Structure 1
Amino acid sequence: MASQRVGFRLPAAYRAFFLLIEPLSALVGAFYNHLRQQHTLMLLDAASAPADIPLSTSVAMSQLANMYLFFALNEALVLRSTWDLRVWRTVLLVLLMADVGHLYSMWELGPDIYYNVTGWNAGDWGNIPWVYAGASMRICFLAGVGLGGSKRLQKQR
Structure 2
Amino acid sequence: MSLASPSHIALPYRILFLYIEPLAALFGTYTTLFHPEPYLLSLSPTATYSPLTYPIYAQIAGHDLLFSWLQAVLLRSTSSVRIWKIVLFGILMCDVLHLYGSYVVLGPESFFDPRTWRWEEWITFVMTYGPGLLRAAFCLEIGVSQTRATKPS
Instruction: Give TM-score, length-normalised by structure 1.
Output: 0.80
Instruction: Give TM-score, length-normalised by structure 2.
Output: 0.82
| Superposition RMSD in Å | 2.0
Residue matched to 1:45 = 44
Tell me: CA distance 1:99–1:46, structure 2 relative to 1, closer, same or farther (3 Å): closer
CA contact (8 A) 1:27 1:69 kept: yes
Indicate the SS of the match to 1:128.
helix
Tell me: CA distance 1:28–1:112, structure 2 relative to 1, closer, same or farther (3 Å): farther
Q: Which runs of 5+ in 2 are unaligned?
A: 1-5
CA contact (8 A) 2:43 2:102 kept: no
Residue matched to 1:132 = 129
Give the alignment partner of residue 139 of structure 2, picking from 134, 138, 142. 142
Q: CA deviation at 1:25?
A: 1.0
Q: CA deviation at 1:73?
A: 0.8
CA contact (8 A) 2:85 2:139 kept: yes
Give the alignment partner of residue 61 of structure 2, picking from 61, 65, 73. 65
Residue matched to 1:100 = 96
1:93 partner letter: F
Deviations 1:5-49 (A, max 9, x none): xx8701110010000011111111111111111211222233232
Give the alignment partner of residue 122 of structure 1, picking from 109, 119, 123. 119
Give the structure with higher Rg (CA). 1
1:61 partner letter: Y
Aligned residues between the structures:
143
Verify: 1:84 aligned to 2:83, yes or no.
no
Indicate the SS of the match to 1:145.
coil
CA distance in 2: counterparts of 1:127 and 1:45, whole angstroms: 11
CA contact (8 A) 1:8 1:85 kept: no
CA contact (8 A) 1:8 1:152 kept: no
Tell me: CA distance 1:112–1:33, structure 2 relative to 1, closer, same or farther (3 Å): farther
